[in-house]
Amino acid sequence: MSTASILDIQDLSVEIPTDSATLKAVRGISLDLKRGETLGIVGESGSGKSMIALAIMNLLPPSARRAAASINFDGSDLAHAGERELAMKVRGQRIGMIFQEPMTSLNPVYSIGRQLTETMTLHRKVSRAEAEKRAIYLLEKVGLPDPASRLKQYPHELSGGQRQRVMIAMALMNEPELLIADEPTTALDVTIQAQILYLLQDLQKELGMSMILITHDLGVVSRSADKIAVMYAGDIVETGTAEEVLRNPQHPYTQGLLECVPGYRGDAAHRLGSIPGIVPSMTGTIRGCAFASRCPRVVDACKTEVLPRKQLGPGRTYVCHDPDATRNQSTADLHSAANEVPVELPKTPGEKVLTVDGVSCTFSVRRGLFGKRRSLKALDNVSLDIRKGEVLALVGESGCGKTTLSRTIMGLQQPDAGSVSLGQHEISTLPAWQRARMIQPIFQDPYSSLNPRKTIGDIIGRPLVVNHIGTKPEQLAKVHKMMEHVGLPRRVFNSYPDQLSGGQRQRAAIGRALIMDPEIVICDEPTSALDVSVQAQILNLLLDLRDELDLTYLFVTHDLSVVQHMADRVAVMYLGEIVECGERRQVLTSPKHPYTRALLDSALSISPDLSVPAPGLSGEFPNPMNRPYGCPFHPRCPMAEQQCREEVPRPEIIDTTFVKCWKARTFSHQAKHH
């Protein structure tokens, strides 16, 4: 790898005036990126990561003020470049960018082909035919089947993973020297995430690109980045190689982030680390260390004195007073009383509180206004049960039927066949008010699931009002008690959702779900939209409430590290079927189904010594309207044989694990020896 720098940023600041004060989004940071190198920028939401990317290309809001000693990009100072030069010679030409949300980044009224070719024809003197040829080549390169036909499609006709692939192709149309990827895998399935990252690394090697990877996922950055910069409150608090930063973190904030990651310390039953509070607002002047109010190693000097930047080696720095009394101690050491929760023996399973028996669900759908109606089988003979006090994790790729199953369990979707029973009662026979008392959901996005016109107190207490439970004083007392349970201070009782942090909003959503004392809580990706620090707080809270209130959870997620930390049992779904179900340790350490193995292989643990794994699954997730014959997984299965293509596998029990696979015993035997 060349040692020459392609990007050298010195003393970059970004300020955004607001009605009340000036927001200092980036506070005098300096960065260096070598040719062919990948720099990972990590930190919580609001720390300023995306602002750096936007400042490099001057894509900031009109009111923002950018200042820098220099932004040297391959000999050109972008800090003093004019808008015309940036638009015609830099953006999209020499620097490409993959934005966080592909659906909002692609124009919904233009075809994929127009958006791809326009990127090239604007910057180069090429014909439309040449641009289309390049677009088809790149769509094929990013793994989209039948790329020529994709040019005529529109963004809404593609899945999330396919749209993200289109964004990557668009960013590479002009063979940029630098690629900036802002959360390129957020909200993607674990299999798609691994494919996207593997693809980016492959293309980077082929084209000799440099890359800046902005993410809050430490597993992603550990496998993909050469160097890491940790950001907090607009400043870079630690830098170094991925190995140095993740194996031997020096700043208390970096240590805290790592201890928040499920599975980082290797003990599924251990309480996660926690960083109290939230990132400060960054308005006005910050005296001393911005992290002081949240730091377990804080001393008086941290609150008043300018922080020294300490150099440990080439490119290895951190910003901290690092007092003698606390040097080399982790946040876990300093919070040992809070974190060292005794590991409990597994509870004796209680009685069954939920039974799903042979449930099938089919929808009638059509493409376009005059298209012919076709059947889509969302659930196919699904059976499972949940016992009192248990956490059952439901995992699988998008489109596998997890949400349909959740809606059916809540009584919001009527099955074509089979039944769902809560206790002794079939759910279809229960009135809506009784279902609401027995089963409640916690949704993925805590902002869109809360009414923005209602106060937090009103939101949490609303189920009591709707169901006429208790007098007003009794309702108020119960809301206050629930806020205390979920860790919300009373001062936010009259606040609105937009005045709360993401973690506080999710706590309010949890409080609203639990106010009815439900038998079962369905958690639908409750932490996927949250930072790792807030995720740790919410996961700890859910487990505390489970023990305190004797709750039962159906935990829908695609994050296998969360499954490892939370679940007692795991059910794996594929194309509307449960293909494997069993005790967590059995499923995660000795999977019986090739699909479960592929999911586990795609999960990215924090391992700087490992690279992104090559995709273990061939092909795309199949269209439920064109279900394969025989085993639904056979078109993507590396072990598929003729029997798999012709016959539906019979369910069987192997080592207490339920599995549907003709090759389960062979696969299990090979996996044990492997």
> How far is 565 from 583, CA to CA, in rounded Å?
13
Q: How far is CA 595 from CA 9, 96, 311, 400, 586, in A?
A: 45, 35, 46, 12, 15
Give, in degrees to the nearest 5, the angle at Cα 421 between 420 and 423: 160
Correct CATH for 345-451+517-674 of 3.20.20.80, 1.10.260.40, 3.40.50.300, 3.40.50.620? 3.40.50.300
- Give yes or no for residue 481 having a pLDDT over 80: yes
Reduced to 3 states (helix: H, G, I; strand: E, B; else coil), residue 518 is coil
Both tokens assigned to 5: 């720098």
Range of lowest pLDDT (9-13, 283-287, 561-565): 283-287
Beta bridge partners of 653: 658
CA 72 to chain centre: 33
> How far is 56 from 73, CA to CA, in rounded Å?
9
For residues 265 and 271, which has the higher predicted lDDT (pLDDT)? Answer: 271
Three-state helix/strand/coil letters over 228-287:
EEEEECCEEEEEEEHHHHHHCCCCHHHHHHHHCCCCCCCCCCCCCCCCCCCCCCCECCCC
For residues 230 and 344, which has the higher predicted lDDT (pLDDT)? Answer: 230
Phi/psi of residue 265, nearest 5 degrees: -95, 5
> How far is 652 from 662, CA to CA, in rounded Å?
10
> How far is 612 from 8, CA to CA, in rounded Å?
27
- Give yes or no for residue 672 having a pLDDT over 90: no
- Give yes or no for residue 337 having a pLDDT over 50: no
Task: Using alpha carbons, select from 140, 149, 62, 50 the residue that is nearest to residue 98.
Answer: 50
- CATH fourth-level superfamily of 5-240: P-loop containing nucleotide triphosphate hydrolases (3.40.50.300)
**pTM exceeds 0.75:** yes
Q: pLDDT-derived band of residue 552, with 50, 70 and 90 as boundaries?
A: very high
Range of lowest pLDDT (253-262, 363-372, 532-541, 610-619): 363-372
Q: What is the DSSP letter of 615?
A: P
Check residue 495 and give its pLDDT.
Answer: 93
Q: How many helices (H) and strands (E) does the chain have?
A: 25, 25
Percent of the chain with pLDDT over 70: 92
Give, in degrees to the nearest 5, the angle at Cα 388 between 382 and 394: 35
Kindly provide the b/e burial profile for residues 477-497, where b requires at least 16 CB atoms within 10 angstroms of the residue's own CB. Answer: ebbbebbebbbbeeebbebbb
Range of lowest pLDDT (120-134, 142-156, 514-528, 560-574): 142-156
> How far is 401 from 545, CA to CA, in rounded Å?
28
Range of lowest pLDDT (259-263, 483-487, 599-603, 613-617): 613-617
What is the overall mean pLDDT for the chain? 87
Q: pLDDT-derived band of residue 55, with 50, 70 and 90 as boundaries?
A: very high
What's the alpha-carbon Rg for the chain, to the nearest Å? 26
For residues 154 and 335, which has the higher predicted lDDT (pLDDT)? Answer: 154
- Give yes or no for residue 340 having a pLDDT over 60: no
- Give yes or no for residue 492 having a pLDDT over 50: yes
The neighbour count for residue 205, using CB atoms within 10 Å, is: 10
> How far is 290 from 268, CA to CA, in rounded Å?
32
- Give yes or no for residue 91 having a pLDDT over 70: yes
Question: What's the average model confidence in pLDDT over 551-563?
Answer: 91
> How far is 182 from 436, CA to CA, in rounded Å?
40
Which ranges in 57-159 belong to alpha helices (H)?
83-85, 102-105, 112-121, 128-141, 147-150
Question: What's the average model confidence in pLDDT over 82-104?
Answer: 86
Check residue 341 and give its pLDDT.
Answer: 42
CA contacts within 13 A on the Cβ side of 78: 27
Q: pLDDT-derived band of residue 51, with 50, 70 and 90 as boundaries?
A: very high
Check residue 196 and give its pLDDT.
Answer: 83
Reduced to 3 states (helix: H, G, I; strand: E, B; else coil), residue 9 is strand
Kindly provide the b/e burial profile for residues 655-664, where b requires at least 16 CB atoms within 10 angstroms of the residue's own CB. Answer: eebbbbbbbb
Residues 415, 400 contacting (CB under 8 angstroms): no
- Burial class, 166, CB count within 10 angstroms (exposed 0-12 / middle 13-18 / buried 19+): buried
Residues 181, 9 contacting (CB under 8 angstroms): no
The neighbour count for residue 424, using CB atoms within 10 Å, is: 7
Check residue 287 and give its pLDDT.
Answer: 84
Check residue 645 and give its pLDDT.
Answer: 92
Range of lowest pLDDT (124-138, 182-196, 627-641): 182-196
Residues 212, 9 contacting (CB under 8 angstroms): no
Range of lowest pLDDT (110-119, 151-160, 467-476): 151-160
Q: What is the DSSP letter of 91?
A: B
> How far is 359 from 408, CA to CA, in rounded Å?
9
Task: Using alpha carbons, select from 568, 559, 570 the residue that is nearest to residue 535.
Answer: 559
Check residue 338 and give its pLDDT.
Answer: 40
Phi/psi of residue 222, nearest 5 degrees: -65, -30
> How far is 180 from 187, CA to CA, in rounded Å?
18
Q: pLDDT-derived band of residue 324, with 50, 70 and 90 as boundaries?
A: low
The neighbour count for residue 519, using CB atoms within 10 Å, is: 18
Q: How far is CA 419 from CA 168, 361, 393, 435, 570, in A?
A: 44, 11, 20, 15, 21
Residues 6+ apart with CB under 8 A from 620: 145, 159, 162
Residues 646, 630 contacting (CB under 8 angstroms): yes
The amino acid present at 644, given as its one-letter code, is C
Q: pLDDT-derived band of residue 145, with 50, 70 and 90 as boundaries?
A: confident
Check residue 268 and give its pLDDT.
Answer: 53
Beta bridge partners of 210: 178
Check residue 344 and give its pLDDT.
Answer: 43
Check residue 206 and give its pLDDT.
Answer: 87
Phi/psi of residue 617, nearest 5 degrees: -110, 135
Check residue 88 and give its pLDDT.
Answer: 86
Q: What is the pLDDT of residues 374-415, one digit of tens each?
A: 888 899 999 999 999 999 999 998 888 898 999 999 998 999
Check residue 369 and give its pLDDT.
Answer: 63
Q: What share of the chain is helix, strand, coil (3-state, %, to 5)?
A: 35, 25, 40
Check residue 671 and give its pLDDT.
Answer: 56
Highest mean pLDDT among 297-311, 550-564, 609-623: 550-564
Reduced to 3 states (helix: H, G, I; strand: E, B; else coil), residue 427 is helix
Question: What's the average model confidence in pLDDT over 35-64?
Answer: 92
Residues 545, 514 contacting (CB under 8 angstroms): yes
- Give yes or no for residue 421 having a pLDDT over 80: yes
Phi/psi of residue 221, nearest 5 degrees: -70, -30
Task: Using alpha carbons, select from 117, 133, 128 the residue that is nearest to residue 170.
Answer: 117
Range of lowest pLDDT (24-28, 335-339, 554-558): 335-339
Beta bridge partners of 91: 95
Three-state helix/strand/coil letters over 311-374:
EEECCEEEECCCCCCCCCCCHHHHCHHHHCCCCCCCCCCCCEEEEEEEEEEEEEECCCCCCCCE
**CATH 3.40.50.300-classified regions of the chain:** 5-240, 345-451+517-674
